[in-house]
Amino acid sequence: MQMESTHKFSVDIIGVPVDLGADRRGVDMGPSAIRYAHLQRELSRTGCTFADLGNLEVPIAEMCKITEPKVKYIDCIVPMARRTAGAVATSMQQGHFPLVLGGDHSIAIGSVRGAAKHKKLGVIWVDAHADFNTPETTPSGNIHGMPLAALCGLGDPRLVRLWDETAPVLDPRRVAVIGARDLDIGEKENLHRAGVMVLGMEQIDRIGMFQVMEKALAHVMQDVDGVYLSFDVDVLDPRHAPGVGTPVSGGLTYREAHLACEMIAETGQLLGMDLVEVNPILDVQNQTASLAVELAVSALGRRIWVE
């Protein structure tokens, strides 16, 4: 029997069709793929109200140039992040739940900043990668590997600030990275110095997803107004989510991913969510986008009870 959360959200769907932060093209079609996977139908089944606000304006790669190899396409990514921050801040100011569809994970530089404009956030970052590189540590120069570092005050000032606001956006001691299994050497040092909690696949294997999420939520929910979930579908094992640009073997199972989202929903403190890195060019019959939709509605409170 299907049961729903008692808390009903007013969801704003915000598409950010950007692939400038990534190495492989195609993730800019992620918002369309997720919508095509019956996003609105599944949201309606949770009892949520929703409005699709369409896609934000984002330049395509052919309109931009790589002027700085250590922060590729930064001149186009910063304006995109500003627009994303504005859209998310407006949504939350209206008491709504922003559901931000990527696009690559560089969108979080804007989405999390917008969510934090009027709220003190704890953040759950579910990702095969920690996205905690800076221009000094990045092996690729791809900005989708830098958003969490920028939100915690590390890296290029243009990404850290976006405009003349106080930085950092997040207290790194209220951030937990779940499912990481592909970290760069300099990135590991950044994470350690910043005090970010990292609960990678080894910890999940050893103590299980339930205890990992209990630890993570207890860590990020101290002295905050609520939780923001930034979910990169490459955290899943590629057998479950083939449509990603940076697949890494040995990821979360279908049920582990759902349990993580269900436990976040149970807190009643979720304020907004990113769904990023769905690449339909690399997908099989849109199964990665369909799984992304399932995870979104789990985070919004949909549960399956077996009696």
pLDDT tens string for the chain (307 positions)?
234 444 689 999 999 999 999 988 999 999 999 999 999 999 999 999 999 999 999 999 999 999 999 999 999 999 999 999 999 999 999 999 999 999 999 999 999 999 999 999 999 999 999 999 999 999 999 999 999 999 999 999 999 999 867 679 999 999 999 999 999 999 999 999 999 999 999 999 999 999 999 999 999 999 999 999 999 999 999 999 999 999 999 999 999 999 999 999 999 999 999 999 999 999 999 999 999 999 999 999 997 654 4
In DSSP terms, 100 is beta-bridged to: 14, 274
b or e along 193-219 (b: 16 or more beta carbons within 10 Å of the residue's beta carbon)? ebebbbbbbebbeeeebeebbebbbeb
* Peptide bond just before 103 cis, omega within 30 deg: yes
pLDDT value at residue 151: 97
Domain-by-domain residue ranges, the chain? 2-304
Q: Are 108 and 151 in contact (CB under 8 A)?
A: yes
Spatial distance between the Cα atoms of 103 and 58, rounded to a whole number of angstroms? 10
pLDDT value at residue 5: 46
Task: Indicate which residue of 105, 182, 237, 262 is catalytic.
Answer: 105
pLDDT value at residue 4: 43
Known catalytic membership, residue 262: no
pLDDT value at residue 1: 29
Known catalytic membership, residue 131: yes
**Which two three-digit tokens encode residue 289?**
């986008």
How many other C-beta atoms can be found within 10 angstroms of the C-beta atom of residue 113?
29
Task: Indicate which residue of 28, 96, 104, 144 is catalytic.
Answer: 144
Known catalytic membership, residue 234: yes
Task: Indicate which residue of 19, 131, 274, 294 is catalytic.
Answer: 131
Known catalytic membership, residue 232: yes
Q: Which of 290, 226, 294 is nearest to 303 (CA)?
A: 294
Contacts of 51 (CB under 8 A, 6+ apart): 10, 11, 12, 13
Task: Indicate which residue of 12, 19, 234, 274 is catalytic.
Answer: 234
pLDDT value at residue 167: 77
pLDDT value at residue 305: 58
Known catalytic membership, residue 240: no
Q: Which CATH class is domain 2-304?
A: alpha beta
Task: Indicate which residue of 19, 129, 256, 258 is catalytic.
Answer: 129
pLDDT value at residue 169: 95
In DSSP terms, 197 is beta-bridged to: 176
Note if the pTM is more than 0.85.
yes
Task: Indicate which residue of 232, 256, 283, 294 is catalytic.
Answer: 232
